[in-house]
Each structure stands twice: as C-alpha cells, then as structure tokens.
Chain A
Amino acid sequence: MSDGQVIIGLEVHCQLDTKTKLFCGCSTDYRDDGPNTHVCPVCLGLPGTMPAVNRRAVEFALKVAKAFHSEIPEECEFSRKNYFYPDLNKGYQITQYDRPLALGGYIEIEGEEDGEKRVRLTRIHMEEDPGRLVHKGGGDRARYSLVDYNRSGVPLIEIVTEPDLRSPKEARRLLAKLRATLEYLGVYDSEKEGSLRVDANISISGHDRVEVKNISSYKGVEKALTFEITRQRSLIRRGATVERETRHFVEARGTTTASRSKVEEHDYRYFPEPDLPPLRVASWVAEIALPELPDARRERFMQQYALSVNHARTLTGDLRLAEFYEAVAGQEPALAATWVADTLLGELNYRDRTIATVDPARFRALLGLVKSGTITDRSGVEVLRAVLDTPEEPAAIVKRLGLAVTGEDTVATAITEVLAEHPQAVADYRTGKGNALNYLAGQVMKKTRGRADPRDIGRRLAEALTE
C-alpha cells in the first residue's frame, strides 16, 4: 500500500482593503449596493481608458511583503494575462508575471510536530479582481450570464507558497496565520464576503500534482484538501494514476470535480502592460513601519499576562479576538484568558458568530461576577449564553435567573448533612481513597442545587473531614 507524503502548496488571493480600486477611483465599498453602481470607464474596460496605479494598494502589498520577510526587487512591473471570459472587462487581466513586487520570504506556523515551522513563499504580487458572474436558476442550467463590474478592478495580492505544507491542518494553520497577519497590518478585512480565494496544488509524493481551484472560504481549504487526499490515495491504492489536472472545489458538497475541459491548455501570452512603466518602490520598504504582528503579540501575552502558549496562540490568532482579550483582561488576565479562549469561543462557534458581535463591557461585568464569587463558573456559562442571546446586563441576568451563590450557612448545613448521610464515603476518605472527596462534593452540590462554588465546597469539605 502506498502511503506517500502529502505535498501541498497554496496560492492565496486576498482583496486589499483600500478605499478605491487598483487602477481607478471607484470605491471598493460596494457590497451593500446594487450591481454596476461602482463602475467607471476604466473598470468597465471602455475603449480608450488607461490604468493609474493606486499608491495605497502598493503600500499595502509592500507591508505584507515586509511582514513575511520577502525580498523587494529594485523594479517591478505589471503584465497582461490574456484570456477570454465573460467576467473579464478587457479580455486580459492586469497582473504581475516575471517581475513581481516581492520574491521569497516565509510564514511561520505551528508545525504538526512541536515548535514552529517555516513555510517558504515563492512570491507576492498585485493584480486586479475580475467582475462577478451571476447565474439565475443555478450555474449549470443558466442560459446566459449576468455580469456585475462592481468587483472589477478591486486590488488583490496573490501570495504563492512553496510546496512546504504536509497536511490539510497545516494548510489551515497557514491560512489562519496569513489572515491574522494581514488583519494586524490593517490591509485586509476578512469579514468582507469573497475577500479570500485559494487555489491549492496537492500531490502524494511520487505522483502527479492536481490543482484545486475555487476554494473561497477559509474552512473550505481543509475540507477540499482532505477530500482530495482521500481521492488521490484511493486512486493510488487501486493502482490507478493520479492525473495532472485542474479540479474545482464544490463547497456545498465538500468535494472536488474535474474541470470540464481538462485538456484546455492555457496560453496566457503575458507581456508587459504598455500603459504602466515599471514601478520603483523598493526604497519605500525601509520607511514602512510594521505594527505588532501575531507572533510578537503571542510572546507579549505570555510575558505580560503569564498565559500558556496555547492560550496566547489562540487569543492572538485573530486581531479582533486579541483586542477583545486585552479589553477584558483587566486585573484577572488568567481568568479572562480561560473565559475568552475556552468558553466564549466555543459559544460563538456554536452560534456561528464572530468576536466582533460581543460587547466587551458586558463580558467584563460577567468576569467580575465570577471573580467575586457572586456566581459559580457553571452559572457563569449560563449568564454568558444570556449575554450573547439577549441585550441584558449580566447582573440583571443573575437576578432574573436566581443564580447568585447561596449564603455560607446553606453550604455548611449541606456539608454537615452529607457527612452524616454518607459515613462509608467519609471512612473511605479517611483511608485515603481520593475520589471519595469528589463524591461527597457532588452530594453537597446536589443539595445546594449547583449554586455554590465547587472550589469552595472542596476546600470546606476537606476542612470538615480533618476536624
């Protein structure tokens, strides 16, 4: 049975979060507006129009290149990629070919084994987004296409990795790291629909490579790659050949399908864009100030808040999450880390919501109630759910649900009663059976109906038993 190494390389396209398009002054803020409302002669590809490069798009791309340690050549150049497609405004796409903005560099991710792993980059270049096609009645059956040029000309960067990834999980981690870094740099907004698109090259060592296109979500990458590995391995097991081809990821089914015309060989006839002489921007790099990036912030969280590496990694893996954490950490960074990284993220994931939807003030109030012992951890989760699902203040929720920790006397009474009712367990404890204490604590919890602090119960039970 063949069990070759999985080899993956990614080509990641991200929309740069500029105000205007790459080559014209049309606003990129089109998502809430109707089709063809953010279009001018340039991005419609009218005869006679010329591209004029957006300075900020170049600055953003250079920031990314600097953050990933890429080399910036003295000169770079735009080229035309010639092909026909109904979403294209000019019959070619302005992109970069043999003289890209940046070469080399690397992204560090958490490796499958312990420690960090460096994924090398081949290049980073700039290009324009094509328009968007809409097919009424579903793509396969539509009798014609409808084109919206609002997206046409939005700046993209394409980041190409070397085939250094060894599993779908690593690919996901790479994307997560990439996304986080771009957001820290302030050049990308992952909340915008369709702002990330990935093509993956994947092979099993010793066999031909398959390109999977059309992966447009972050979660889709792991799915697409996992499916593709299974498909390729099973071909190999059966003694069949993995064909060198381009496949499309079908998000809804979680599968990849062969492109219709797989033999269709592309000849893009690249040549330098004659309306855009070369760019000399290497000298800008020294002046570009990078903000604190995810790795540095992770180190700082471990130092400043004494967090575990796992908590620090989770909390810094997303800019908004890191900012949220710092807004609520206050005097209790450890408690806050547990509540944000373990509890809150789980609840958000369950609701398919993002951290941006959580009000830090109410969350901080919740942490205060837990910290002061007003509510137990378990009640805290209940309060958190209400915080997420209603606009109520945590204190009001506690009151409404009657979750406040009951007075000491109740606990003391419960302990006395439990010790009297379970002499065997008491005896077991005294002969050193550890789980007897847990059993007794459980009984006390039952009597107080969960409103007492379990840690408090444990401590006081132990005291009572040694008396």
Chain B
Amino acid sequence: MEDRYNAYLLRSDEPGGSMGPLAGRTVAVKDNISTAGLETTCGSRILKGYVPPYDAHVVTLLREAGAAINGKTNMDEFGMGSTTENSGFGPTLNPVDPTRVPGGSSGGSAAAVAAGLAELALGTDTGGSIRCPAAFCGIVGLKPTYGRVSRYGLVAYANSLETIGPMARTVGDVSALYRVISRHDPRDTTMQGRPYEHDPAPTVAGRRIGVPAEFFGEGVDSRVATRVEEAIETLSACGATIVPVSMPSMASALAAYYVTCTSEASSNLARYDGVRYGPGGETARPWHEAFTDVRGSHFGEEVRRRILLGTFALSAGYYGKYYGKAQTARANVAADFERLFGTIDLLAGPTMPTVAYRLGELADPLSMYLADILTVPANLAGVPAISVPCGEVDGLPVGLQLMGRMFDDEAVIDAAAAYEAEATA
C-alpha cells in the first residue's frame, strides 16, 4: 500500500514468523528505536546513514514474537515536537485529514496505524508523544509505567521521562503488543521486573475515577472538553464512581517538564559530533570548530533550541533556578498523584486540549510546548496513561486520557477497554 502520508522513513518487508503471539502481524517501529541492519535516524539528518549494529530489546522481543516489522516511522527530530513537522525528512500528514498534523512526536507510527499500513506500532512517549498522535489520529496509544519496558536501544531524548509503548486501533491490540514488549532486560537497570501479563477485562465497575479540574482549564477547547465529559459519563454509566479532584502541581508541571527534558537532551545529544557515526566533520579542523559545524548544520532548529535551553538550564549559576527547581516541581506532581491515588483508582481527562492542528499552525515554539500540558504530568510522575478515541469535533478525533497508579497499567487498560466496548457497542 502506498504511503501517502509520509508515515514511514523506511519501509521493510520482513515476513515475520509463523509462531508466537504476534505471528505475521505487521508492526511499524518509530525511528528512534534501534533496528540492526535498518537505518535509524530519529528523524534527524545528523543520523542520516546510521545503521545500528544491534537491536533494541523491544525489537528483539518483536522478532521473537513473530511480528513482521514493516518499516521505521517518521517523527519529530529526536522526539522534539507535538506535530511531526519537526522531522528532518518532511512532515507526516494526518490520515483523517491530510491538511492536519498527525500529532507527535510518534506521528508516523500513529498515521501508519490509522491509514492501515500497519496493524500495530511502537511509539515512544517523553511528554505525550504516544498519546498526542493517538488522540489526533483516532487510535489507541499507551504510555506504560516508567520502568516496565526496556529502553535499551531507544535513542535517548529525556531518559528520566520517556518510555516505549504500544499503539493500535483497539485496546485489545495495544494490550497484546504491550505483553510482548514488557519482558525483562538486564541492560536497562531502571527496569523494575514487572512484566505486563494481563488479559484485558472491559470493566470499570466499582472503580473510583478522579477528574482533575485543571484538565478542563484555560486553553482546553470547550468542544473537546464536552466530548471528554460525555466519555466520563459513559464510564460512570458502566459503574465507575466519578470524583471531582484537584492537582495544584499542574501549575508548574509544564515548566518542570521542559526544563528537565531539555537539560537531559542537551547532554544526550552531545554524542552527535560526527566522529563515530553520522555525517563526518572535517578532521583537519580543530575539534571544537569541526563539532560545532557538524552539529550546527545537521540539527534542526527545534533541536538546537532545546539543546541550548538545556545547556542554559544546567549551566553554572542557573542550575538551582532551573534544573533544581524543576525537580522540586516534578516531586510535587508525583506527590499529587500519590495523594490522589490514595483514594481513587484512575484519573480521567482530555489527552490534548484541542483536535489536530493545521499543518504550520503551531509556528511559535512556546505555543507548541503549551499544548503538552495535559500529557506531561504522567511522564513527570512515571505513571501509566492511555489515550482512547472518544468521538469527534468537526470530524476530527478526540482522545480520552486515563491515568493510573504506578504499575497499575492493568487497571488503565481495563477501563479503556470498558469505554471502548461501550462506545463502539
């Protein structure tokens, strides 16, 4: 099938196995996940031509499960964006409406699934990068609990925030893919030895679902809010108890997120100096000049901006004001979740404040950052969160976000399955 939406950076026709839980099923893999023998660029021209000599742990697991990896998907360069327009290889279009962005940064994976080019896809979620494109393309995407899927082979953007996660058209498929990719890996020592082995049960009866007021605040499109409120009523009708709650830490969550992710990114992206891989610098020049030249000319604008923001946030005299304070804010978010999960089981709200933007609509960097406000809290705290389609506004999909306790991805998936069953009934 033709890739009319530029969902893939590279297509492959591995046949897949005849055995295993994913035997013969097509899986699209986001291009920041290392695949031995398949170019892995992270959507960046600085990795053009880089072919990893090793597989990410999740890719090994996919192959063992019989999956047919059918290509590497487009993304915002190194995951830095919410539209997939920041790719060094051109934007991906939203299959629902090709004048719109698919969301990001896992926009290629979401578009591949939405367009029927792959049954399943792997995305990665640092601050909403699975859930945002899932919402914008009308599919299901799960950000697992931090420490439940090996990150070995995931090209780091912000290590303390990001996870690999499953994307598919249905909660059942998301669950099936999650089962495969959550096996233990000693090479990622932040893994907590908690594989996901659950068969989803579509039920929320007796669950207490908190609805934070802050998720319906300023900037949230009222029509999107209405769709999500209707979805929450559906959950209530399924037997869940709805509880209005508050998350005051949301006020500084986005700043905490951007300071943390840019700080880590500034360091993670220091390795792209043109020496060991990627386009080489001029070795006859002094190293500082050669590195600056390679990095300046091959990183895109948003990547350069985030590297500089992070460099500044960690620099002498500013560490305390930015990085230090961001960790305090982050701890506050985690504390808010912990407090709320003392009495309730799940939190619900919109995944994104709006529906998919028009291509080019979010030109200003800060406006783009602000669009992540509803997804970053789960990354700051490490808790699981899913986006499941819940209707449309102007023919564009809206996503319902459900968040759960650490390592209670099972409850999140069950609730999403319950909503999905009710909504598609």
Q: Which A positions have Cβ atoms within 8 angstroms of B?
A: 41, 44-53, 80, 82, 84-86, 89-92, 143-145, 147, 267, 269-271, 274-277
Contacts and interface: CB of A to CB of B under 8 A. Distances in A.
B9 to A, nearest CB: 15
A328 to B, nearest CB: 47
A91 B155 CA distance: 15
B72 to A, nearest CB: 13
A32 B323 CA distance: 44
B287 A47 contact: no
A429 B271 CA distance: 85
B368 interface: no
Interface in B196-225: none
Given A50-B187, A50-B189, A86-B287, A91 B273 contact: yes
A274 B159 contact: yes
Contacts of B155: 47-48
B189 A47 contact: no
Contact of B189 (A46, A53, A85, A92): A53
22 contacts: A41-B53, A46-B52, A47-B34, A47-B277, A48-B56, A49-B152, A49-B153, A50-B152, A82-B314, A84-B273, A91-B269, A91-B270, A91-B273, A143-B283, A147-B275, A269-B266, A269-B311, A269-B315, A269-B319, A271-B267, A275-B159, A275-B190
B24 to A, nearest CB: 27
B52 A269 contact: no
B154 interface: yes
B151 A50 contact: yes
Interface in B282-337: 283-284, 287-288, 291, 311, 314-316, 319, 323
B189 A48 contact: no
Contacts of B158: 274
A52 B186 contact: yes
A92 B311 CA distance: 13
Interface string B20-50: 0000000000001110000010100001001
A274 B311 CA distance: 16
With most chain A CB atoms within 10 A of its CB, the pick from B47, B156, B319 is: B156
B54 A46 contact: yes
Contact of A86 (B186, B188, B264, B275): B275
B56 A44 contact: no
Overall SS of chain B's interface: loop
Contact of B270 (A41, A46, A84, A267): A84
A186 B275 CA distance: 37
Contacts of B187: 50, 52
A271 B263 contact: yes
B50 to A, nearest CB: 7
Contacts of B40: 47-48
Interface string B155-195: 11011100000000000000000000000001111100000
A53 B189 CA distance: 8
Contacts of A85: 287
A52 B190 CA distance: 9
A145 B152 contact: no
A147 B186 CA distance: 29
A188 to B, nearest CB: 26
Contacts of B284: 143-144
B271 A274 contact: no
A285 B32 CA distance: 41
Contacts of B275: 86, 147
A86 B274 CA distance: 10
Contacts of B190: 275-277
Given A46-B276, A82-B314, A85-B287, A52 B52 contact: no
Interface residues of B, number: 48
Contacts of A44: 276
A274 B54 contact: no
A145 B274 CA distance: 13
B34 A48 contact: yes
A47 B50 contact: yes
Given A84-B270, A271-B323, A48 B287 contact: no
Contacts of A267: 315-316
Contacts, number: 109
Contacts of B314: 82, 269-271
A260 to B, nearest CB: 11
Given A91-B267, A144-B284, A274-B158, 16 more contacts: A46-B53, A46-B276, A47-B50, A47-B277, A48-B33, A48-B56, A48-B155, A52-B188, A84-B291, A267-B316, A269-B266, A269-B267, A269-B314, A269-B315, A269-B319, A275-B156
A270 to B, nearest CB: 8
A44 B154 CA distance: 16
Contacts of A51: 189
B276 A92 contact: no
B287 A46 contact: no
Nearest to A265: B316
Nearest to A51: B189
Nearest to A47: B155
A216 B115 CA distance: 61
A89 B42 CA distance: 19
A271 B313 CA distance: 11
B54 A41 contact: yes
B267 A80 contact: yes
A133 to B, nearest CB: 10
With most chain B CB atoms within 10 A of its CB, the pick from A44, A50, A52 is: A50
Nearest to A40: B54
B287 A92 contact: no
A80 B314 CA distance: 11
Contact of B156 (A48, A53, A89, A277): A48
A92 B158 CA distance: 15
A322 to B, nearest CB: 39
B417 to A, nearest CB: 32
A2 to B, nearest CB: 34
Given A47-B271, A267-B316, A145 B287 contact: yes
A89 B152 contact: no
The 3 closest A-B pairs by CB, nearest first: A91-B270, A269-B314, A274-B159
B292 to A, nearest CB: 9
A269 B40 CA distance: 29
Nearest to A24: B187
B326 to A, nearest CB: 11
Nearest to A275: B159
Interface in B238-284: 263-264, 266-267, 269-273, 275-277, 283-284
A50 B147 CA distance: 13
Contacts of A275: 151, 156, 159, 188-190
Nearest to B44: A47
Contacts of A86: 273, 275, 287
A378 B50 CA distance: 70
With most chain A CB atoms within 10 A of its CB, the pick from B153, B156, B270 is: B270
B189 A89 contact: no
Contacts of A89: 271, 276
Contact of A47 (B42, B186, B264, B319): B42
Contact of A144 (B53, B188, B283): B283
A260 B105 CA distance: 44
A275 B146 CA distance: 12
B266 to A, nearest CB: 8
A85 B187 CA distance: 26
Contacts of A91: 267, 269-273
Contacts of A52: 186-189
B152 A276 contact: no
Contacts of B277: 46-47
Given A50-B152, A52-B186, A86-B275, A274 B270 contact: no
B109 to A, nearest CB: 17
A48 B276 contact: no
B52 A47 contact: yes
Nearest to A264: B288
A111 to B, nearest CB: 39
A277 B190 CA distance: 7
A290 B221 CA distance: 67
B148 to A, nearest CB: 15
